[in-house]
Amino acid sequence: MKKIIKTLIVVALILTASYGGLVLYNRLRVDGGQQVNDMVAFLSKKTGIIADDEHFSDDVSAGNLLRRKMINRTHHIDITYFSRQKIDAQEIAKNIYQEAIKHTGVPNEGDYLHYSLSRVTISSKRTRIINGYHYDLAYDINYRTTLSKEQLIDKKVKAIVASVKGTNYQKIKQLNDYLVHHMYYSDRGRGDQYTAYGALVNGHGVCQAYTLAYYRLLLEAKIDNRMITGLSVQPTGRENHTWNIVKLGNRYYDVDVTWNDAEGRKNMYFLKGDLQFKKSHHADDIYKTTAFQSKYPLSL
């Protein structure tokens, strides 16, 4: 049975005497039953120190800066934020982070960037000033890939996409077939098996590698798609898994490149309607919301 990987988000609130609050967004990647330390921690500390500086005053601008820094694989990122109203520092930190990793349609952003992070720790300090509140946010980030590896991925992605021709359907099929023919499933590696680098450069990886590589390739080809996490359902049981939904026409269709690469079921999970697909794939609840489904309408 194939080993699969998934990222979960668990929220816990711990109050202490010395801090305003500690919020742990504990992203536990469950791989073959083992939890991998994949954590986002938000630390909010109240202080009486008065300071003034240039500030962001909206989540979008702050998120854009954080995104650019993360794409460049910056490990320590400082962000200052200003609000005329008192806001929970934890919420500011969360909102900026979510803005930074949102789906934009740019190949190396969105889901690709989100699942390229291994650990993010964010500390925040709130200061009362004359006309409002000043927030100092410090993001310390560990990445699954280095900038040099990302540059190799960029070159590989551009070369592959330049070789595909035809309609969007033909491009979707050719890129699926490229991964099926040029990589194999393996959970061996020093972390690369979870990345597009593992898929496109090393030629092997787990489902996360397949999905991230397909996400990058499709967006480079101007075809919208999203990475979906959930459970695979098989006679042997349920396991954490990931796949893509791909836009063709006005609808999105399910594609599981990992399973398309399995013996005995070549391309059985290519551009499938959701009614059939969900018999063997159960998406996480976040993808079942009205907001998500209205933005990404799935073919039935």
Instruction: Quote the pLDDT of residue 287.
Output: 94
Instruction: Quote the pLDDT of residue 234.
Output: 80
Instruction: Quote the pLDDT of residue 102.
Output: 97
Q: Using CA atoms, how far apart are residues 23 and 97, in angstroms rounded to an integer?
A: 14
Domains identified in the chain and CATH numbers: 52-143 (3.30.110), 147-295 (3.10.620.30)
Instruction: Quote the pLDDT of residue 1.
Output: 38
The 3 state secondary structure assigned to the chain is CCCCEEEEEEEEEECCCCCCEEEEEEEEEEECCEEECCEEEEEEEECCCCCCCCCECCHHHHHHHHHHHHHCCCCEEEEEEEECCCCCHHHHHHHHHHHHCCCCCCCCCHHHHHCCEEEEEEEEEEEEECCEEEEEEEEEEEECCCHHHHHHHHHHHHHHHHCCCCCHHHHHHHHHHHHHHHCEECCCCCCHHHCHHHHHHHCEECHHHHHHHHHHHHHHCCCCEEEEEEEEEECCEEEEEEEEEEEECCEEEEECHHHHCCCCCCCCCCCECHHHHCCCEEECHHHHCHHHHHHCCECC
Instruction: Quote the pLDDT of residue 55.
Output: 67
Q: Using CA atoms, how far apart are residues 50 and 48, in angstroms rounded to an integer?
A: 6
pTM above 0.85, yes or no: no
Write out residues in the chain with pLDDT < 70, as ranges.
1-55, 264
Residue 246 identity (one-letter amino acid): V
Instruction: Quote the pLDDT of residue 248.
Output: 97
Q: What is the pLDDT of residues 167-224, one digit of tens each?
A: 999 999 999 999 999 999 998 888 899 999 999 999 999 999 999 999 999 999 999 9
